[in-house]
Amino acid sequence: MPVDVLVGLQWGDEGKGKIVDVLAPTYDVVARFQGGPNAGHTLTFDGIKHVLHQVPSGIFHPHIINVVGNGVVLDPVVFRVELQKLTDRGVDWAKNLYISKKAQLILPSHRALDRILEEARGGGKIGSTLKGIGPTYQDKIGRTGLRVGDILLADFQDRYNEAVARHATLASFHGQQLDIEQAEADFFSAVDFLRTLQLADTEYLLNDLLRQGKQILAEGAQGSLLDIDFGTYPFVTSSSTVVAGACTGLGIAPRHIDKVYGISKAYCTRVGSGPFPTELHDEVGEQIRAAGREFGATTGRPRRCGWIDLPALRYSIMLNGVTEIHLMKADVLDEFDEIRICTHYQNPEGEETNQLPDLGDLQTMKPVYTSLPGWKVNLQQINSADALPKELKDYVQFLEAQLEVPISIVSVGPDRVSTLHMAETVA
């Protein structure tokens, strides 16, 4: 059986967790392939909001095997807290959760370094979540990192001490100390807890499941425009957030990839620094933020808000080979008389392009908009795609024509039941 992949098409926060939760019942396995506790996947059902950071979003379905892949960077302290919250809510995760021995460990010194390095950037801050993600991936690429499997070794403490010594030296270059003594106590307690879980060579596990005919959904974190290679560098995350990252982050061959679900909001948001061509600095942007409750699930930071950006979406669709789009949070635009869509960019010379340029050129681009009438309907009261207002159907058709990819799902509210399948409509 093939592997289907779910990726964000914008700067993250598109609603991937909800879609994984909705799609999960049709899969045997949900596998997270990159990122760490900088991600916040929000799921809402039965009137209760759940936020996952490192645990795959299939964990609420008891029949599903959940895998934390080798491409993930894992903070044992955050992981333990997540699992405890799941236990408190009656979720029995113990039998169907596996963690790759090759996943990198986030150490207390990584988190300290993240803060020190971000402060050292002064006015050029990246907008880090300060969760230790960047320094951990730096150690991974520098071949000095510690992996989950290392906690099973007799000399783990020595390896840990060597890593912290290196980090202390780096901190001293910036005239600072790590100050992690208190955090270390929580870390080693969480490591003891981590040793009790199912630590596995998950690349073998996943390929064995494929041979058994099991259906796998690969779950990405962040968004394609934050990809370390193809995002708005240097204002990006530290991992491969596109479909290719699923292969290296799980140990599966490209030939197994089938469907690619691209997740996009009906508008656009961004957290942290970096270019954002359609960002709104007016009351319209504030209205979108308020209606969408646009505050980071991990950091609580207010998200920057703007209209949907088609050049950026075309770019992400190209990189990922998207086969269908899921359009999220359409209900946030319920009150607008008109909906604006950025179809092109215009450079200072007046030339237009529908491609996403590199950072230097992107910062000089102005969005070129077209407008469609708003629907002025409370979408959260609609439970059938056939019942959607004509104006929203027109909006969906316009996006499909521009992006040349079908929109198969439109989300009209936070709950899992507010997810409308479009196959039988918009014709």
Distance (Å, rounded) from C-alpha 58 to C-alpha 97? 10
8 Å CB contact between 241 and 6: no
> What is residue 47's predicted lDDT score, i.e. its pLDDT?
67
Peptide bond into 348 cis (omega under 30): no
**Which residues 6+ apart lie within 8 Å of 333 measured at CB?**
266, 267, 288, 291, 339, 374, 375
**Which residues 6+ apart lie within 8 Å of 66 measured at CB?**
29, 30, 31, 32, 55, 56, 58, 59, 93, 96, 97, 98
**Which three-class secondary structure state does DSSP give residue 65?**
strand
> What is residue 78's predicted lDDT score, i.e. its pLDDT?
94
> What is residue 424's predicted lDDT score, i.e. its pLDDT?
45
41 is catalytic: yes
Closest among 142, 130, 132, 128 to 105, alpha carbons compared: 132
Binding-site residue numbers for GTP are 12-18, 40-42, 303, 329-331, 411-413
Domains detected in the chain: 3-103+199-260 (3.40.440.10), 105-195 (1.10.300.10), 265-421 (3.90.170.10)
**Which residues 6+ apart lie within 8 Å of 348 measured at CB?**
364
Residue 245: strand pairing partners: none
Angle at 383 between CA 45 and CA 285, to 5 degrees: 75
Side-chain-facing half-sphere of 57: CA atoms under 13 Å? 30
Residue spans of beta strands (DSSP E) within 164-228: 198-200, 216-219
Per-residue pLDDT of the chain (427 residues; tens, 9 = 90+): 799 999 999 999 999 988 988 998 999 999 999 999 876 767 776 666 777 889 998 899 999 999 999 999 999 999 999 999 999 989 999 999 999 999 999 999 999 999 998 888 877 677 788 899 999 999 999 999 999 999 999 999 999 999 999 999 999 999 999 999 999 999 999 999 999 999 999 999 999 999 999 999 999 999 999 999 999 999 999 999 999 999 999 999 999 999 999 999 999 999 888 999 999 999 999 999 999 999 876 677 899 999 999 999 999 999 999 999 999 999 999 999 999 999 999 999 999 999 999 877 898 999 999 999 999 999 999 989 999 999 999 999 999 999 999 999 999 998 888 999 996 443 3
8 Å CB contact between 20 and 6: yes
13 is catalytic: yes
Is the pTM of the predicted complex or chain greater than 0.75? yes
Token digits for 266?
A: 């009906």
> What is residue 317's predicted lDDT score, i.e. its pLDDT?
98
Strands 324-328 and 97-100: unpaired
Binding-site residue numbers are 12-18, 38-42, 129, 143, 222, 237, 297-303, 329-331, 411-413
Longest dimension (CA), the chain: 66
Q: Quick one: CA torsion of 186, 188, 190, 194, rounded to 10 degrees?
A: 170
Q: List helix spans (H) across 303-389.
A: 310-320, 359-362
Binding-site residue numbers for Mg(2+) are 13, 40
Distance (Å, rounded) from C-alpha 322 to C-alpha 220? 14
Binding-site residue numbers for IMP are 13-16, 38-41, 129, 143, 222, 237, 301
Sign of the CA dihedral running 378, 280, 363, 276: negative
> What is residue 150's predicted lDDT score, i.e. its pLDDT?
98
If you ran DSSP here, which 8-state letter would residue 86 be given? H
Q: Kindly name the residue from 13, 139, 227, 309 that is annotated as catalytic.
A: 13
Hey, what long-range contacts does 362-370 have (CB within 8 A, 24 or more apart)?
362/232, 362/275, 362/277, 363/275, 365/277, 366/277, 367/277, 367/278, 367/307, 367/309, 367/342, 368/342, 368/343, 368/344, 369/307, 369/340, 369/341, 369/342, 369/343, 370/340, 370/341, 370/343
Q: Kindly name the residue from 102, 110, 140, 265 that is annotated as catalytic.
A: 140
> What is residue 118's predicted lDDT score, i.e. its pLDDT?
86
Distance (Å, rounded) from C-alpha 81 to C-alpha 87? 10
Token digits for 307?
A: 């209209």
Sign of the CA dihedral running 183, 186, 189, 190: negative
